[in-house]
């Protein structure tokens, strides 16, 4: 899950200091001020950027508590973008929470903090095959499972149904070519409105996601592959949407998600690439106007990255078995299904998909399922945070046409290794 307003579908990320249960404020201060090992077992360090993030974590706690009235868990943490730096210092403190969250994309980066779960899973009768295969691949480092996923979120193309209808365009289906997408984006641009909204970010955004949809990958065999020709071609296609095709407005490096997401929900832009985790937030603004489609590819055959997050145990935890006993209650099919229904996160277990799809348009659900069926794991390297930060800094130059995708990605590849 990632997300930054982010989560569709309410789908990826999440945290700002708070705690979820009654009395959580007290537990939150205990988490930073010293507590017993038992306290640490029932504490989680995570990201809390938005109200949507808080609601998501609360949903996990409430669902687990409904199944087991004695279940307790409090949590706090910084905003999403700060989490990946602060977690490295928080988890080595003597009073660190035992449970922490990670994305599949960050499992490599946080591997030094995360306790391998294989033996605990075996003792509890939990199998890796119980969960989405792409997510488990991302959560496994050097053959060891470091976290159990609660979602499996393929990045998607959101579109405004009303704007498509008014322009006389056919809504995207589960087969959408980049050629047709560009024609649609041009037809939707004019009178102060644009076909597309873009962010400065790498993934959960046009740039990196087109790199993937064109057939590229961000890494292979533990090494960054940012200069792979197919990946470069896709990123350049996204850059060209602004400076060449003029169907989008160039972002600023400091924008993060906000301006592009606001452009989409306000009707200034007809489409945006984002995570399914944003579905709930977008639906609140757009209602029945909200549509979900596959990310365009040159061939029309769906291909998207599958992002997602999960729960792990800190290596510093004084009672890892007790912590796993708490963790496993968060990733049962029942709890994951309840959260999928309430929050819209695409579940990491196939049996919970009906919960997620229950109140969503059939074509939107079909698009997400098509992407799950044709998804590729997001497997990264230990320098992923550096790559994301640098891309956000320099991508506006690509969107404005002052640098090519190859130049930017080569610089990132060389600096990140």
Q: What gap in Å lies between CA 396 and CA 199, rounded to an integer? A: 9
Backbone angles phi, psi at 138, to 5 degrees: -70, -30
Which of the four pLDDT bands, split at 50, 70 and 90, describes residue 342?
Answer: confident
> What's the whole-number average pLDDT of the chain?
89
Q: What gap in Å lies between CA 344 and CA 280, rounded to an integer? A: 6
Quick one: which of 271, 257, 297 has its CA closest to 195? 271
Query: Tokens 């998501």, residue?
Result: 56
Which of the four pLDDT bands, split at 50, 70 and 90, describes residue 232?
Answer: very high
Q: What is the mean pLDDT of residues 320-344?
A: 93
pTM of the model: 0.82
The model's pLDDT over 183-210, given as tens digits with 9 standing for 90+, comes to 999 999 999 999 999 999 999 999 999 9
Q: What gap in Å lies between CA 132 and CA 137, rounded to an integer? A: 9
Return the CA Rg of the chain.
Answer: 20
Cα–chain center distance at 11: 7
Which of the four pLDDT bands, split at 50, 70 and 90, describes residue 318?
Answer: very high
The model's pLDDT over 103-135, given as tens digits with 9 standing for 90+, comes to 988 998 999 999 999 999 999 999 999 999 999
Q: What gap in Å lies between CA 411 and CA 390, rounded to an integer? A: 9
User: Beta strands 290-293 and 156-160: pairing type?
Assistant: antiparallel
pLDDT at 414: 95
**Where are the chain's structural domains?**
37-153+307-362, 156-294+382-416
**CA torsion 72→313→84→133, rounded to 10°?**
-100
Structure tokens at 89: 């210092």
Asked if 90 contacts 305 with a C-beta cutoff of 8 angstroms, the reply is no
- Third-level CATH fold of 156-294+382-416: D-Maltodextrin-Binding Protein; domain 2 (3.40.190)
Residue 39 has pLDDT above 70, yes or no: yes
Q: Which positions ≥6 away from 173 have C-beta within 8 Å?
A: 293, 294, 363, 367
CA 349, 350, 355, 359 torsion-angle sign: positive
Residue 300 — left, alpha, or beta (φ > 0 → left; ψ -120 to 50 → alpha)? left
Quick one: which of 407, 394, 401 has its CA closest to 246? 401
Q: What gap in Å lies between CA 339 and CA 124, rounded to an integer? A: 22
CA 33, 37, 42, 46 torsion-angle sign: positive
The residue among 278 and 226 whose pLDDT is bigger is 226
Asked if 2 contacts 275 with a C-beta cutoff of 8 angstroms, the reply is yes
Quick one: which of 174, 170, 173 has its CA closest to 183? 170
CB atoms under 10 Å from CB of 258, counted, come to 12
Q: What gap in Å lies between CA 328 and CA 312, rounded to an integer? A: 10
Q: Which positions ≥6 away from 263 have C-beta within 8 Å?
A: 194, 197, 249, 269, 272
The model's pLDDT over 155-190, given as tens digits with 9 standing for 90+, comes to 999 999 999 999 999 999 899 999 999 999 999 999
Which of the four pLDDT bands, split at 50, 70 and 90, describes residue 272?
Answer: very high
Q: What gap in Å lies between CA 117 and CA 100, rounded to an integer? A: 13
The residue among 84 and 417 whose pLDDT is bigger is 84
Domain 37-153+307-362 is found in CATH 3.40.50.1820:
no
Asked if 15 contacts 82 with a C-beta cutoff of 8 angstroms, the reply is no
Tell me how many degrees the CA angle 143-144-148 measures, rounded to the nearest 5: 130
Q: What gap in Å lies between CA 412 and CA 406, rounded to an integer? A: 10
pLDDT at 28: 33
Q: Which positions ≥6 away from 353 have C-beta within 8 Å?
A: 340, 346, 347, 369
Q: What percentage of residues in the chain have a pLDDT greater than 90?
A: 76
Residue 330 has pLDDT above 80, yes or no: yes
pLDDT at 259: 97
Q: What is the mean pLDDT of residues 91-96?
A: 94
User: Beta strands 304-307 and 309-313: pairing type?
Assistant: unpaired
CA 306, 307, 310, 315 torsion-angle sign: positive
Which of the four pLDDT bands, split at 50, 70 and 90, describes residue 2?
Answer: very low
Burial (0-12, 13-18, 19+ Cβ within 10 Å), 184: buried
Residue 214 has pLDDT above 90, yes or no: yes
Strand, coil or helix: 149? strand
Q: What gap in Å lies between CA 417 and CA 328, rounded to an integer? A: 36
Can 37-153+307-362 and 156-294+382-416 be said to share one CATH topology? yes
User: What's the per-residue H, E or C state across 251-271?
Assistant: CCCCCCCHHHHHHHHCCCECE
């Amino acid at each position: 899950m990632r997300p930054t307003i982010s989560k569709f579908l309410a789908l990826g990320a999440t945290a700002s200091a708070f705690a979820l249960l009654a009395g959580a404020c007290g537990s939150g201060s205990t988490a930073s001020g010293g507590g017993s090992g038992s306290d640490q077992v029932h504490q989680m360090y995570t990201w809390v950027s938005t109200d949507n993030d808080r609601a998501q974590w609360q949903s996990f706690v409430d669902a687990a508590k409904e199944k087991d009235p004695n279940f307790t868990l409090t949590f706090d943490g910084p905003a999403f973008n700060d989490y990946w730096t602060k977690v490295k210092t928080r988890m080595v403190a003597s009073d660190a929470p035992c449970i922490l969250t990670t994305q599949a994309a960050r499992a490599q980066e946080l591997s030094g903090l995360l306790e391998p779960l294989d033996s605990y899973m075996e003792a509890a009768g939990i199998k890796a095959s119980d969960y989405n295969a792409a997510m488990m691949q991302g959560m496994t480092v050097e053959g060891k499972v470091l976290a159990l996923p609660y979602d499996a979120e393929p990045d998607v193309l959101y579109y405004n149904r009303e704007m498509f209808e008014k322009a006389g365009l056919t809504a995207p289906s589960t087969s959408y070519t980049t050629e047709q997408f560009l024609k649609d984006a041009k037809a939707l641009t004019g009178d102060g409105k644009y076909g597309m909204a873009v962010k400065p970010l790498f993934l959960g955004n046009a740039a990196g996601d087109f790199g993937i949809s064109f057939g590229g990958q961000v890494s292979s065999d533990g090494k960054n592959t940012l200069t792979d020709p197919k990946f470069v071609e896709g990123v350049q296609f996204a850059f060209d949407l602004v400076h060449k095709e003029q169907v989008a407005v160039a972002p600023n490096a400091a924008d993060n998600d906000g301006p592009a997401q606001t452009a989409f929900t306000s009707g200034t832009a007809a489409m945006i690439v984002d995570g399914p985790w944003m579905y709930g937030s977008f639906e609140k603004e757009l209602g029945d106007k909200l549509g979900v489609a596959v990310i365009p590819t040159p061939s029309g055959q769906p291909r998207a990255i599958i992002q997602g997050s999960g729960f792990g145990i800190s290596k510093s935890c004084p009672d890892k078995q007790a912590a796993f006993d708490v963790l496993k209650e968060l990733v049962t099919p029942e709890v994951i299904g309840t959260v999928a229904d309430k929050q819209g996160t695409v579940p990491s277990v196939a049996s919970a998909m009906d919960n997620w799809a229950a109140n969503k348009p059939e074509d939107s659900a079909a698009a997400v399922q098509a992407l799950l069926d044709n998804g590729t794991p997001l497997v990264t390297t230990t320098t992923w945070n550096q790559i994301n930060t640098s891309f956000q800094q320099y991508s506006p130059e690509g969107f404005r046409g002052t640098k090519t995708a190859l130049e930017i990605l080569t610089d990132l590849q060389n600096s990140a290794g």
